[in-house]
Each structure stands twice: as structure tokens, then as C-alpha cells.
Chain A
Amino acid sequence: MKELRLMKGNEAIAEAAIRCGADGYFGYPITPQSEVLEYLMAERPYEKTGMVVLQAESEVAAINMVYGGAACGKKVLTSSSSPGISLKQEGISYIAGAELPCVIVNVVRGGPGLGTIQPSQSDYFQAVKGGGHGDYRLIVLAPASVQEMADFVKLGFDLAFKYRNPAMILTDGVIGQMMEKVELFESQPRLTKEEILKQTPWATVGKTPDRERNIVTSLILDSAIQEQHVNKLRDKYIEIEKNEVRYEKIQCDDAEYLFVAFGSSARICQKAVDMGRAKGIKVGLLRPITLFPFPKQVLFELADQVKGILDVEMNLGQMVEDVRLAVNGKVKVEHYGRYGGMIPSPDEVLLALENQIIGGK
């Protein structure tokens, strides 16, 4: 049954994992996402749905547990925040190379280094451009509400299994910690052994006489075959770019100016749009929901309509590179950012639009 609840973003991740029939969660505490593991430990889903919840000895161990579970065809996830996600990168690369489906949540905090526990969006490059070694892509989803935190766990698993590719939820301490009303989707049961065999016939569940052995590996010593494998991955990423682009257009129909922002920055820009409109500035917002695949086409088209674009991020300017690539020089694209855990206010963002784009024309 659908259910309304007031919850934190991190709790919504955990509750959604139970509800979408996840088989396992493996994590290690780090602010600002520890509530995910805490919620799961308090809920004891292992007694209800049979979902395994384990506090690992490190993020490294946790991501490799995800590798092991995903290789058995199980629905498994992990969550962490920036320094912990850095530790997971070798494992993520293995998961991408072995084409395993899983969900990885990064509740980003400011960096570099140990940085700050305050929210940030400074892991955009790491999430979207690789992070770990080798030629690979993650499917990257950027929730802008607690509702989307819950919904994207389900969406993340669906896409991960559809493409046999790891999916990342790239969020931050704002969305992770804030409380909002959530409509929780109906619980679905965990897959049975038979369903797993059907969905993931490649999984290592024990070799039966009716088939060859299943091997999950990312090792391909023969370069010619490794190249073929990377080509196969490339074709998959092209397919994902074709089918899975998601974005939200807010007041774009008559917009003369455009904000581009994801996650919590988009929430701030949404307010700035209303404030700008009240002042008579025809401004809209494009909110990429998938950061990979990036909504290039819609930006390319909007660039013909608007006079200038302000990219707003809680970092030094990361997504702005993709915005500029998409716009391809058609209009001016500027970046406005706060970082190190600082959060811009709507006034500040609107002022930046006026100064950098409207006035600076």
C-alpha cells in the first residue's frame, strides 16, 4: 500500500531499499549519510523480508560485498559520502567492468580531503566522468527532494538491471538530512531463486549440469578481446544515452534566461525563478535528473531560445563543462558556485543571474 510519511532523505533511501525488495545493504558509517545504515539496523528487515544488512569494516569491504552480491544476481546497494566513495572507486570500476547491476548512493560533503561534513556537489566529476580507473560510465541520478530519494532507489535498480550497469544516486547533505513528506511506493517482494535465474542467467549461484559454469570477472588479458569488451560497454552507454535521459523543465516555455542546476541547487534555483518572475525577469530552470546520460539535446534546443544561461552548483564549476559542451557556444554560459559546505541563497543566485548574465551581456 502507498503510504505518506515525514522522513529524512537518508531514511527514505533505506525505506525504499526495503520496499523495492533489496536483498542486501553493505555500508560503513560516515556523515552525512549514517542514517541509512542506522535506519536499516533499527528496522531489522532481515526479520521481515530477509534483506541482509551488514556494517562492513570499511567502504572498500562494503563495495566488494556489493560486487559479490550483485554477481549472485542479488539486488544490493551501498551508501557513503565523498571520502568513502573515493575508497570505493576500485570496486566500482570492477563492478562496471564485470557489468554488474547495483545501486551506490553518494551523499556528498565538501572536500577535498576530509573537508567538511556540510553539503556539497563537488563529486560531480567523480560520479559522471569515471572516478575509478578505465573506460566506463555510471548511470547517475540526481534527486532534488526526499520523494525522489525514495523513488530513485527503485529507478536506480530498474536501470541497473536493465543495462547490467552500476547506478549512482548523487545527492548531498541537504537532501540527505532534510525532512519532507514522502509518498512511499508499495512494497514488492524480493525475487525468488527461480526469478533470479531468469533475470540474471549469468549469476554465480552454483553450476548445475544443464549449463556451463558462470564466471564473473573483469579480467581480459587479451587486448584484442578487451577492446571488444570496451566496445560492447560503449554501445551500452550509447543505448543509455538514447533511452534514459531525464530532466525537468520549470517555466522554460517563455524563458529568456535559464538556470541549469541539479539536486539541492535546483531547489534553490526554483525559488530564484519565482523571485525573478515576480520582478519581471523571464527566467526558467532546466534540472538534469540524469547526470549521465546528460540532457544535451534539450539544452542545445533551449540555447536557441534563451539569451544566456547561469549554471548553479555547489562546487567550483563541474557540470558547467557539460552544459557548455551541450550549448556549443550558442549563448553565454556562466557558472555561479558556493562550495566548501556553503549553500547559496535564492537571492544570491538571482543576483548572480542579473550580474553575470543579464547585466553582463
Chain B
Amino acid sequence: MSENITKESIIKEENCVYKRTNLLVDKALSYCPGCGHGTAHRLLMEVLEEMNIQSETIGIAPVGCAVLAYEFLDIDMQQAAHGRAPAVATAVKRLMPEKFVFTYQGDGDLAAIGTAETIHACNRGENITIIFINNGIYGMTGGQMAPTTLPGMKSSTSPYGREVETMGNPLKMTELVAQLPGTYYVTRQSVHTPGNVRKAKKALRKAMENQKLNKGLSFVEIVSNCNSGWKMTPVQSNKWMEENMFPFYPLGDIKVPVE
């Protein structure tokens, strides 16, 4: 071992291949280890940093595990009532059209209590970005059934598995909003492998860039894990997600702008 190798000699600008974005507050995330929320936060902040729009962006946090997103994202943020983020964002964007506005919502927030606000913001073609974290469960309140819970999937309010006859079918909100003339770009991504992380980041970048075009709403679903709610280890949960969530919620673009 050479004596001159020190920490300082290694940590140099020219050796740097990856660095934590400056737009994440230096604070431990409140998410469970292994949860996709943290990765999604990081990607979004990397996108804002690369676009250099920190001072131009207003984020709307939901009610759900991401309610505290404003603790971690170093931008101006509002915390909206459960499900109402698209309405809140609508006003922010209408009143300050030159700003970039996004909502960050879970499946309970976006696809159950906030269904009306989601559909109408999409249908009006608000020039905002909706980021939809679909983990098929209510994480924050302790793992209850979500509108996106898969048939047969167990949760604390479907302890024997979701019975579609009595509990209804899972809702494919992303396919639904893609039908609306007001959406401009609709895609479904995941953040559980390096390859998917890269794709998801591209999608988020595009969704934010689209706001400059004034052509309508960009909707990015991220199918994610809730290892705590699913009662699995992070590794098991990602495997379970690939095997069960992806067949029902296939990844990829659903509506792409015709250039």
C-alpha cells in the first residue's frame, strides 16, 4: 500500500463520477430503508438541479408517506390536504405560469380520495407535472388496501387478500388519464434497478421540460415498493414487485407527444 494514498488524494473533482445533488437537504430521510420514495426524491432533485430551476420550482407534497417531502427537498413547497395536490398545483401554476410546478402523490392520495382532482387537472390540461408513486398500499397509515392493491394482495384491510367481487378492482389511473385530451405525456416507470433509475430520471426530466411548451399535463407514475406495508425485506419486495406489479402495471410510455 502506497503511503501517499489519502482520502484527500482520492476525493478530487476529476475522480468524481457521482455526487449527491445539492437540492436534497442534508438530513436523514424519514422513509423506511429500501423504500422507493427516497430514490424518486433524489432523481427529481437531480433533474431540477440539472435544469437549474430550483428558484423557479414549487412542489406540492401530498398526505401519505411523502407528506414530509418538504423536509428533504430544498425548494419552496406546500403541503396539500389528502388528495388535493392537483387542485393546489392548478392554482399555483395559473397564478404563476412562469414557474415549474409539480405534485408528488401516493396511490391513496391520487387514485382514491383525490380521483376527482387528478382527473380534472389532467382533463383541463394544466401545465404541471404529476409524479405518482404507486406502491399498491397505504404506507403511511400502516398498510391498508389502496385503489391500486392487486387482486389477492394482502393488506391490513384485506387480510385474506383483495377480493375483487366485494372490494372492487385495482384502478389503472395512468391508463385512464392517458385517455384525456389534456395530458401531454404519460409514462410508467420504476426505480428499483440502475437501468430503471436512469429511465425514470429521463422521464422526470422530460415531464419537467414539457412545462416550457405549455402543451398540457405530464404524468409520471413510478411503480414502487412498500417493503414495510408489504411485510417483506427490500430485496424481496423488489422481486415481488417485478413478478406481480409489473404484469398488471406494465412499465413504459403510455402517451408520448407527437413532435
**Inter-chain contact A68/B76, CB cutoff 8 Å:** no
Interface members, chain A 56-85 (any B CB < 8 Å): 56-58, 60-62, 64-69, 71-72, 74, 76
Q: How far is the CA of A56 from the CA of B124 in the complex (A)?
A: 10
The answer to whether B116 and A58 have CB atoms under 8 Å apart is yes
Q: Are A64 and B117 in contact (CB under 8 A)?
A: yes
Contact B79 A218 (CB under 8 A): yes
Residues of A within 8 A of B99 (CB): 205-206
Contact: B80 with A61, CB < 8 Å? no
Contact-residue bracket for chain A = 35 or more
**Distance in angstroms between the alpha carbons of A64 and B70 in the assembled complex:** 18
Report yes or no: B84 in contact with A24, Cβ–Cβ below 8 A.
no
| A205-B117 in contact given A61-B84, A65-B87 (Cβ < 8 Å) | no
Interface 9-mer from A135-143, A209-217, A289-297: A209-217
A24 near B116 with CB under 8 A, answer no
What A residues does B120 contact at CB under 8 A?
56-57, 61
Task: Report the minimum CB–CB distance from A109 to chain B (whole Å).
Answer: 23
Bits for B215-227, please: 1 = Cβ < 8 Å to A, else 0.
0000000000000
A145 CB to closest chain B CB (Å) equals: 31
Determine whether B173 belongs to the interface, using a CB cutoff of 8 Å to chain A. no
Q: Which residues of chain B have C-beta atoms less than 8 A from A124's C-beta?
A: none
| Contact across chains for A68 and B60 when beta carbons are under 8 A apart | yes
CB proximity of B253 to chain A, nearest CB, Å: 27
- Of the listed residues B54, B56, B94, the one surrounded by the most CB atoms of chain A closer than 10 A to its CB is B94
Contact A64 B88 (CB under 8 A): yes
Instruction: Tell me, yes or no, whether B74 is within 8 Å of chain A by CB.
Output: yes
Which chain B residues in 57-89 approach chain A with CB under 8 Å? 57-58, 60-61, 67-68, 70, 74-81, 84, 87-89
User: Is residue A219 within 8 Å, beta carbon to beta carbon, of the partner chain?
Assistant: yes
**Does A94 lie at the interface of the complex (its beta carbon under 8 Å from any beta carbon of B)?**
yes
Interface status of B51 (Cβ within 8 A of chain A): no
Question: Closest Cβ of chain B: how far from A222's Cβ, in Å?
Answer: 12
Q: Given contacts A57-B120, A205-B58, is CB(A65)–CB(B88) below 8 Å? A: yes
Select one of B78, B79, B84 contacting A91, CB under 8 A: B84
Interface assignment of B256: CB less than 8 Å from any CB of chain A: no
A354 within 8 A of B: no
A34 at the interface (CB under 8 A from B): no
Count residues on chain B whose CB falls below 8 Å from chain A CBs: 32
Is B77 a contact partner of A76 (Cβ separation < 8 A)?
A: no
Question: Does A208 have its Cβ within 8 Å of any Cβ on chain B?
Answer: yes
Chain B nearest CB, measured from A176 CB (Å): 24
CB <8 Å contact, B76 and A64:
no
Q: Out of B55, B84, B88, B91, which one reaches A207, CB within 8 Å? A: B55
Contact B90 A65 (CB under 8 A): yes
A67 B55 Cβ-Cβ under 8 A: no
The CA-CA distance from A74 to B95 in the complex, in Å, is 8
Nearest-CB distance from A147 to chain B (Å)? 29
Chain A residue at smallest Cβ distance from B57: A206
Shortest distance from the beta carbon of A90 to any chain B beta carbon, whole Å: 6
A207-B70 contact in complex given A61-B116, A68-B91, A91-B81, C-beta closer than 8 Å = no
**Which chain B residues border A64 with CB–CB below 8 Å?**
80-81, 84, 87-88, 91, 117
Set of chain B residues within 8 Å of A65, measured between Cβ atoms: 87-88, 90-91
Are A209 and B55 closer than 8 Å at their CB atoms? yes
Closest to B90 in A: A65
| Nearest-neighbor residue (CB-CB) of A24 within chain B | B95
Residues A206 and B56 in contact, CB atoms below 8 Å apart: yes
Assembly CA distance A65 to B60 (angstroms): 12
B92 in contact (CB, < 8 A): yes
Check B232 for interface membership: any CB of A closer than 8 A.
Answer: no
Which 9 residue pairs of A and B lie closest in terms of their CB atoms, listed nearest first?
A: A68-B88, A217-B79, A68-B91, A65-B91, A64-B84, A204-B76, A57-B120, A61-B87, A64-B87
Add 17 more A-B contacts to A67-B78, A69-B91, A217-B70 (CB < 8 A).
A57-B87, A57-B116, A57-B117, A61-B116, A64-B80, A66-B91, A68-B88, A71-B78, A204-B78, A204-B92, A206-B56, A207-B74, A207-B75, A215-B77, A215-B79, A217-B61, A218-B79
What would be 18 A-B contacts, judged by CB atoms less than 8 Å apart? A57-B87, A64-B84, A65-B87, A67-B84, A67-B91, A68-B60, A68-B92, A69-B95, A74-B95, A94-B81, A98-B79, A205-B99, A206-B76, A207-B54, A209-B55, A214-B76, A217-B70, A217-B77
